[in-house]
Amino acid sequence: MISPLLDLNPPVRGDYNLEVSSPGIERRLKKLSHFQKSIGEMVLIVLDDGAQIRGKLKDVKDSTIVVETKNGDKKIDFNTIATAKTYFEW
C-alpha cells in the first residue's frame, strides 16, 4: 500500500487526494509495438475503407498484422488501419 507511505512523506503541502486509475481492459492500438504487446488478445480493427475486422490478434511481422477471425486468418497491412483497439468479450 502506497497511501501510508505518502502520509509519512507527503509529496505536496496540504491536503490531497490520491487517485489511482488504469487504461482499462480495452486499449487503443496506434503503434506496431502496441500490436506486438497485444498478441493473443481480441481486437477490433477498422480499415481506411471502413471495413471492420474482429478476432484474436495472432501475429505481427514487419508491417503485417495477422488476425484470426471466424472466417480464417486475415493479413492486414498496418498502413491501411484507420483505428484499432483491444476488446473484451463477456
- DSSP per residue over 12-34, as a string? SSS----------S--B--SHHH
Q: Which residues pair with 47 in a beta bridge?
A: 81
Residue 66 has what pLDDT? 99
Q: Is residue 50 part of a domain?
A: yes
Q: Is the pLDDT of residue 31 over 90?
A: yes
Q: Is the pLDDT of residue 53 over 70?
A: yes
Q: Is the pLDDT of residue 51 over 80?
A: yes
Q: Is residue 32 part of a domain?
A: yes
CATH number at residue 80: 2.30.30.100
Torsion of CA 47, 48, 49, 53, to 10 degrees: 0
Residue 36 has what pLDDT? 97
Q: Is residue 41 part of a domain?
A: yes
Domain count, the chain: 1
Q: Is residue 61 part of a domain?
A: yes
Q: Using one digit for the tens of pLDDT, what is the confidence trace for 37-46?
A: 999 999 999 9
User: 3-class DSSP state for residue 3?
Assistant: helix
Q: Is the pLDDT of residue 21 over 80?
A: no
Of 80, 54, 76, which Cα lies nearest the Cα of 66? 76
Q: Is residue 2 part of a domain?
A: no
Give the pLDDT mean for 53-73.
97
Q: Is residue 58 part of a domain?
A: yes
Q: Is residue 11 part of a domain?
A: no
The parent domain of residue 66 ranges over 25-86
pTM value surpassing 0.85: no
Q: Is residue 14 part of a domain?
A: no
Q: How confident is the model at residue 23 (pLDDT cuts 50, 70, 90)?
A: low
